[in-house]
Amino acid sequence: MKKIAFATHNNHKLEEIQSILKNMYHVMGLTELGITEEIPETADTLEGNAQMKADYLFDRLGIDCFADDTGLEVEALHGAPGVYSARYAGEHCSFSDNVEKILKELERIENRKAQFRTVICLILNGEKHFFEGIVTGELIKSSRGEKGFGYDPIFIPNGYSETFAEMPIDLKNEISHRGKATQKLIDFLAKFSGI
């Protein structure tokens, strides 16, 4: 079976994609690859970071690989926090610090439109391919729900009444930015492998 490397330590992300690609690829995460160092992600766009991480893996291993990067883009904040979503409230901040900061910034702002955007960079046979997934929605005024992570408790996707943190994880995965980008990657790999 063909091997493909995924620049993640997140077992949940890995299992999800491995279960879909199981007949086509053996997907190897950073733990299995023995890569323990932090992979640099210092670009100022999601595309740049996804590419930087994929390039790093390709340079190290020389095999097909992919990497993703995600951000929350808030319309009234001109797309912030975007690529800086993980560390919006500071270097070692928690998810709730980030949520608190964004709620404060939007305190007196009517426009609550926001979107999550994921970009995946795939390097296949030495060629780069990009896949994007977007989910649009609104940010509410205080957190609701215990599931998920990050900004999930304040984000309601358009067409729904629950936050990402209130809805079943399967439903979130089906409609989410990451779900959509991953589906595009999977469709591409399936077509490429002739399945």
Q: State the minimum distance, in angstroms, from the CB of residue 115 to ligand IMP.
A: 11
User: Residue 96: how many CA atoms within 13 Å on its side-chain side?
Assistant: 5
Q: State the minimum distance, in angstroms, from the CB of residue 193 to ligand IMP.
A: 26
With b meaning 16 or more CB within 10 Å and e meaning fewer, what string describes 121-155? bbbeeeeebbbebebebbbeeebbeeebebbbbbb
Q: State the minimum distance, in angstroms, from the CB of residue 148 to ligand IMP.
A: 6
Q: State the minimum distance, in angstroms, from the CB of residue 129 to ligand IMP.
A: 18
Q: Which of 55, 64, 68, 69 is catalytic?
A: 69
Between residues 2 and 141, which has the closer beta carbon with respect to ligand IMP?
141
User: CA end-to-end span of the chain, whole Å?
Assistant: 13
Q: Which residues bind ligand IMP (CB under 6 A)?
A: 69-72, 85-86, 98, 116, 148-152, 164, 176, 178
69 a catalytic residue: yes
**Cβ neighbours of 38 (radius 10 Å):** 7
Between residues 24 and 48, which has the closer beta carbon with respect to ligand IMP?
48
What Å distances lie between residue 65 and 12, 53, 57, 91, CA to CA? 18, 10, 7, 28
Between residues 86 and 140, which has the closer beta carbon with respect to ligand IMP?
86
Active site residues: 69
